[in-house]
Amino acid sequence: MTQSTTRNDLDQADYDDILRRLSEASVDKHFDPYVDIAWDSPEFAVTPNDPRWILNPEDDPLGSHPWYQALPQEKKIEIGMWRQANVAKVGLQFENILIRGMTQYVFSLPNGSVEYRYCTHECIEEGNHTLMFQEMVNRIGVDAPGMGPVLRGLSPFIPLAAGPLPELFFVGVLAGEEPIDHIQKTFLRGSGNMHPIMKSVMAIHVAEEARHISFAHQYLNRRVPQMSRIGRFALSIAMPITMRILCDAIVVPPKSFWKRFDIPRSVRKELFWDSPATRGMLRNYFGDVRMLAQDAGLMNRFSKRVWKACKIDGDVSRFRSEPVRRAA
């Protein structure tokens, strides 16, 4: 047995051990949205003119804009409720795509695969997240569409990539998970007075997404070095493009939002992503992903230009979930 083969065997053993621990954690600490959230408690009721739905200027680009801040309180609340409901709807639609892709991926895994068990645990947790997000949308009472029509139209085909192009699929998984995880952690760490529904949903989602993001990082760190040079180069270029496209799908509201609330086009451009402040927010979403790209060998002189062209280049996180402390 050669030295390189021995090293690969140890890497596989470490990888399998990590997945076993993630699977055990899914058994030991998991949530049920209809057990762990007191939907019908009086304090969870969604009532008219509740100021807790006003967007926090520290956490949301729209909440910090002078146009929004100049609105009457009732309008701020109405916009805040619609925006939070739509983010939740996008979240459940993304989770739905993820579940379909994950089941496509595990279908051909061999007997004894530790990936099979972990991925199935993740599908179960993501299924609970879709229930949780939909319940939140229903309680808010807003008919939010979620994703734009293009991504909704492509949704039946995206999961099919998990079979022939699993590395690209899991890059897409992170492209959906990392921005919303960063946003929700910022909300939970902040000083804003959130409605209990939002706070409970975010807390559960962040807790379980930590496992899901950890798996995607471990998977790509394991698989990318095994790819051909051409495949690895192609993935390095596709990674920032995928991150930017799916981030916009999650964070940027659909056209119906701008039309419904008669929001000026100039405000939209500043919010997503023309002002220095919002550019900083956009870059901050991807510190962990840039760290992964660097560690996995997906950051090269060509891909760095693509990260920059997509406006999501910047510092690399020193560790996963590092809070943003430095000035933009």
What is the rounded distance in angstroms from the CA atom of residue 285 to the CA atom of residue 178? 7
- Residue 289: the pLDDT is 95
Domain boundaries along the sequence of the chain: 76-309
List the structure tokens of 242.
């995928």
- Residue 81: the pLDDT is 95
What is the rounded distance in angstroms from the CA atom of residue 202 to the CA atom of residue 196? 10
Instruction: Label residue 262 left, alpha or beta by phi (over 0 means left) and psi (-120 to 50 means alpha).
Output: left
Instruction: Please name the residues in contact with 206: beta carbons below 8 A apart, sequence gap of 6 or more.
Output: 181, 184, 185, 188
Distances (CA, A) of 216 to 8, 97, 207, 315, 320: 19, 15, 15, 21, 13
Q: Mean pLDDT by 10-residue block, N- to C-terminus, for the chain (328 residues)?
A: 41 92 94 95 92 87 91 95 94 95 95 96 97 97 92 93 95 92 84 86 94 96 94 97 92 90 90 86 92 94 96 85 54
Residue 101: CB atoms within 10 A of its CB come to 23
Dihedrals φ, ψ of 181, to 5°?
-65, -45
Nearest alpha carbon to residue 105 among 159, 51, 56: 159
Q: What is the 3-state secondary structure (H, E, C) of 254-309?
A: CHHHHHHCCCCHHHHHHHHHHCHHHHHHHHHCCHHHHHHHHHHCCCCHHHHHHHHH
- Residue 270: the pLDDT is 86
- Residue 321: the pLDDT is 62
CATH fold for the domain made of 76-309: Ribonucleotide Reductase, subunit A (1.10.620)
What is the rounded distance in angstroms from the CA atom of residue 286 to the CA atom of residue 161? 23
Q: Where are the alpha helices (DSSP H) in 50-161?
A: 66-69, 73-106, 114-140, 149-154
What is the rounded distance in angstroms from the CA atom of residue 156 to the CA atom of residue 61? 31
- Position 207, amino acid: A
